[in-house]
Structure 1
Amino acid sequence: MTTDRIDRGAAPELKETTVDGTRLCYAEAGTGDPLVLLHGWPESHRAWRHQIGPLSARRRVLAPDWLGWGDSARDTALSCDYDSEVDRIARMFDALGLERTDLACHDYGGFLGLGFVQRHPDRVRRLAILNSRAHRTFTPPYRLLFGAFTVGARHHPIRRLLATPPVHLVHRIGLARYLRNGSFDRETLARYLDMLRTPAGRRWYAHFWAGYEVRIRPELGARLREIACPTSVIWGTRDRAISLRTAEELAERIPDAELVLVDADHFLMEERPAEVTASLLRWLDRPAPV
């Protein structure tokens, strides 16, 4: 188990706004230029709990619970396809009164964030991507696993299985190694998976997978060279789900990108918080276009 820990400080108070007609919760701390932290699957703003305090000494930090996750609403009337989710980031920025911001994003958040910076380059001052499938996809075992989720979620008889109580146990077992390596404690993992204990949460979860696609996104890869903002690719090298090659391609193709390697698994902000926080602070020091 890792001993790389920093002082978390007091947990920030959650606030609420409305995006696409439904409730979005977010943590906010600090003052100054804004910094948005986007989490991944199956997390919430708590994925950044070690970073929010130190980063808020320099920025106004906003860490949302993406719609469907954490304490935000789970509205199955909302589409979860890629284009809808990326465009939803812009509407979230509007709801939060953000014109231009630094953006750090992990996992699913990085997948969406990459599309967002390509569509709205004028709204991102700096970009950090952490262990995300980004423009590519997962390693073969995880591509098969998540692909099975998406296929099953689109077929009614199998979709009902994704909305049954055993799905909580399946995910708890599947994420147990992150308890062993110190990424999560039991309380944090329970909070991430609590929605799978409720019928409404499981229905939304099946809805999410019905809109998701595991295929490679060549249109994202083709536009990497257009990203002009200072970019940091911060990567846990022991990730079984996403190849290090994805990180290397991001760093090679994005013109003003640096690659930072961390001896960590997929949930690196939680497993190696001090290293990740230090890397993000250095990233914030990089000059950005006015």
Structure 2
Amino acid sequence: MTKPFELHEVTVDGAVLRYVDVGQGDPLVLLHGWPESHAAWRHQIGPLSRSARVIAPDWQGWGASARDLRLSCDYDTEVDRIGRMFDALNLDRVDLACHDYGGFLGLGFVQRYPERVRRFAILNSRAHRTFTTPYYQLFGLISALARRPLLRPILTARTIRIVHRLGLAQFVRNGSFDTERLDAYLDFLDTREGRRWYAHFWAGYSVRVRPELAAGLGAVRCPTSVIWGDQDPAIPFRYAEDLAAAIPAADLVRIHGGHFIMEQRPADVTAALQAWLRRPAVITRNAAHHTESRLR
């Protein structure tokens, strides 16, 4: 069991955001996905903190951060909230590594605010596309239920935790996390406040493609690493290949594993991130390259 990290707190958009802050050096922000917390990076934080100041937030509404229903969860607000978090933490320019929902937001952020991102890494995220058809339909249905007051009680019922535990049990079986870690991710659904937040989040979330993200890939000029578990049925490896082909300074790391790749294959992900951080932060026009490495 990885020892828990101390959590600090700061106020962002009027709500408490809690975060890990360890190590010294250039700031490295690790942004988790759904339904996780900073603990998604628990295997990487220690090793990476030996050469960087690692900041791993519980994104607003998740983990130990506040679930404030006044916070908007629409895409544009969430992307800009990353910048407001940086401001609250007095961070000017960072290395930014993001997974899943965090990667979806992070891609938008690096396109809007390139001057604030020194290097960018993205792991198993819908990013510039959306989910494969079965998951698109599932998440689209959840979002539609959340937007309809008469149907929203389906998402705020106590049974929603059981549904999620069953759905995520496959990641216990493949070794991404144990039952204790899964319970920790889903504990917020045990409370009425947590279930209300859950519905609130999905009411603001959209599964539709945002075409500006694909259109802007060529403008991402910072050193980028696309790190992907290639057994992800919701977000397949071809999405990673798209990103690596379109982002001028991208390399591609293929890891044999599923969606929660930094939990399932922690050593491989840590090594990939360490290699990414060794890349020069300033690139020239001739430095852009596309390479693929495979970790199996």
Question: Which TM-score band (shorter chain)?
Answer: over 0.9
Give how far 1:244 is off. Answer: 1.5
1:246 to 239, 247, 264: 239
Residue 105 of structure 1: how far off its partner (Å): 0.1
Aligned equivalents of 1:167, 1:158: Cα separation in 2: 13
What residue in structure 2 maps to residue 231 of structure 1? 224
Which aligned segments of 4 or more residues in structure 1 are displaced greater than 4 angstroms? none
Shift of 1:11: 2.8
Distance in 1, matches of 2:150 and 2:50, equals: 50
- Structure-1 residue corresponding to 2:272: 279
> What is the aligned partner in structure 1 of residue 167 from structure 2?
174
SS in structure 2 of the partner of residue 156 of structure 1? coil
Name the SS of the counterpart of 2:227 in structure 1.
Answer: strand
Query: Which whole-Å deviations, capped at 9, do the CAs of 1:147-182 have from their partners, x for residues lacking one?
Result: 000101000121111011000000000000000001
Aligned-partner residue type, residue 213 of structure 2: L
Equivalent pairs, count: 283
- Say if 2:176 is the partner of 1:183: yes
TM-score (norm 2): 0.94
Instruction: In structure 1, give the amino acid aligned to 2:26.
Output: D
Provide the C-alpha distance between the structure 1 equivalents of 2:261 and 2:224, rounded to a whole number of angstroms. Answer: 18
Instruction: Report the Cα distance in structure 2 between the residues aligned to 1:94 and 1:155, rounded to whole angstroms.
Output: 35
Q: Report the secondary structure of 2:59's partner residue.
A: coil
C-alpha distance in 2 between matches for 1:282 and 1:100: 19
Question: Matched residues in 2 for 1:244 and 1:32: separation?
Answer: 33
Q: Aligned partner of 1:46: which letter?
A: A
Deviations 1:102-124 (A, max 9, x none): 00000000000000000100000
2:113 is aligned, of 120, 126, 146, to: 120
Secondary structure of the residue aligned to 1:134 is coil
Shift of 1:28: 1.1
Deviations for 1:178-215, whole angstroms, at most 9, x for unmatched residues?
Answer: 00001011111001000001000000000000000001
Could you tell me the percent identity over the aligned residues? 66
- Aligned equivalents of 1:184, 1:172: Cα separation in 2: 12
- Any idea what the Cα deviations from partners look like across 1:7-33, whole Å, max 9, x if unmatched? 95x432000000000100001110010
Find the aligned partners of 1:53 and 1:244 in 2 and give their Cα distance. 28
**Greater mean deviation of Cα atoms: 242-251 or 163-172:** 242-251
Q: Give 2:220's aligned amino acid.
A: I
Cα distance between partner residues in 2 of 1:282 and 1:243: 23
SS of residue paired to 2:128 = coil
* Displacement after TM superposition at 1:125 (Å): 0.3
Match of 1:210 in 2: 203
| TM-score (structure 1 length as normaliser) | 0.96
Distance 2:151 2:269 in 1: 39
State the match for 1:270 in structure 2.
263
Q: Aligned partner of 1:28: which letter? A: D
- 2:54 aligned partner: 61
Gaps of 5+ in 1: 1-6
User: AA paired with 1:246?
Assistant: Y
SS at match of 1:168: helix
Task: Provide the C-alpha distance between the structure 2 equivalents of 1:83 and 1:283, rounded to a whole number of angstroms.
Answer: 28
Q: What per-residue deviation string (whole Å, max 9, x for no partner) do you get for residues 59-95 of structure 1?
A: 0000000000000000111110000000000000000
Do structure 1's residue 132 and structure 2's residue 122 form an aligned pair? no
Distance of 1:215 and 1:206 partners within structure 2: 18
Residue number in structure 2 paired with 1:77: 70
Name the SS for the 2:120 alignment partner.
strand
